[in-house]
Amino acid sequence: MSTENNTKIEDSIYDISTLLSLCTAESLLYYETKKLQEKSLLTEQLITNVDSKLKKRKQAEILYYSIQRVKESIRLKKEKINLAKKLVFGKKSALDLKQKKLQEITQRYQQDPIKIGESRILLSQNKVILDNTIELLSKKRTELASDLFFVLDIQQEPENNNWTICGLSLDLLYSNKALFQENSAAMGYVVCLIHWVSIYTNTELMFPVWPRSSEPLIYSRVAKRLYKSLVFPLYYTHNAEKPKYEYGAKLLQADVYQIFMNLGIEEYNPRLILANLHKVFIALDI
């Protein structure tokens, strides 16, 4: 009995010690768990603090760059303001100089008002003289034009309705080669007349003409690529030069049409150059 009791006592003691060790281990585990929870909370707080610091750092960087941009814009505005100040200063200096000059002129004329009256009288007299001179020149110009157009008379023959200049017929195609001298002379008169009409009407011809008696010429820079020439004859030439003459005759008709447009004449006949010039005389009332 005593042995069994001892065994039971030992078992109970073992159980109690085991229970105590388990309680101790459980308490230690609870303590460690609590520490771990506290550490995890601290870690989360640290992470939160780090995140907030990173955000603040990014915000600080953004703020820094925005401040730099503002500083740069302020610097540019300062430069513009300085340039504007320089311009204003320069204009102010120029205005000051002008003001000084005006003051000097005012003082000069205030000191001698008689000269102002004399100058006004001289100006009015010179204006009258100039107006009279312009009127006289206009009359002389009209008289000279009338004399020129009287000499270079253009008429229409009643028998065959052909147009003549100074009694000479004009055939731009030179169809009758026996009359080439008469035709060349008529062309010379026509070119001379077109030249003086352009001067009288202040028309700058697109294709300038050069009157040379019965061998007139016409110029064109446009046709250099086609004919490798700037000058085209307006008189009878050999067969090799005939295309140049035909082209020159077309340029002459273009000059007459330009005079028509300048004078506001509408009815233009490219086949009758003398009739067109007669219409120019009528439009000029000569």
Q: Is the pLDDT of residue 73 over 90?
A: no
pLDDT in tens, 105-159: 777 766 666 666 777 788 888 888 888 888 887 777 677 767 766 777 788 887 7
| Residue 232 host element (H or E) | strand 231-233
d(C-alpha 24, C-alpha 19), whole Å: 8
Pick from 63-72, 107-116, 121-130, 177-186: least confident: 107-116
pTM (2 decimals)?
0.50
CB neighbour burial string for 147-181, b if at least 16 within 10 angstroms, e if fewer: eebeebebeeeeeeeebbbeebbbebebeeeebbe
Q: What does each C-alpha distance from 127 to 113, 116, 117 come to in angstroms?
A: 21, 16, 15
CA distances from 53 to 39, 119, 257, 271 (A): 20, 88, 89, 97
Task: Report which of residues 121 and 216 the model is more confident about.
Answer: 216
Tell me the per-residue pLDDT of 237-276, one tens digit each, with 9 for 90 and over.
Answer: 767 678 888 888 899 999 999 999 988 888 888 788 888 8
- Predicted confidence (pLDDT) at residue 228 exceeds the cutoff of 80: no
For 112-151, where are the alpha helices, taking DSSP H only? 113-151
Parse the chain into domains and list their residue ranges.
152-284
Q: Is the pLDDT of residue 284 over 70?
A: yes
69-78, 116-125, 168-177 — which one is most confidently predicted on average? 69-78
Q: How many Å apart are CA 140 and CA 134, to the nearest integer?
A: 10
Q: Which amino acid is at 47?
A: I
Three-state secondary structure string covering 54-99? HHHHHHHHHHHHHHHHHHHHHHHHHHHHHHHHHHHHHHHHHHHHHH
Residues 164, 168, 173, 176, CA torsion sign = positive
What pLDDT, on the 0 to 100 scale, is given for residue 5? 64
Predicted pLDDT at 109: 63
Amino acid 160: pLDDT:
76
> Average per-residue pLDDT in the chain?
80
**Chain mean position to CA 274:** 43
**Residue 279 clears pLDDT 70, i.e. is over it:** yes
> Could you tell me which residue, 29 or 12, shows the higher pLDDT?
29
Query: Which CATH number is associated with domain 152-284?
Result: 1.10.418.40
Residue 200 near residue 141 (C-beta atoms within 8 A): yes
> What pLDDT shows up at residue 257?
92
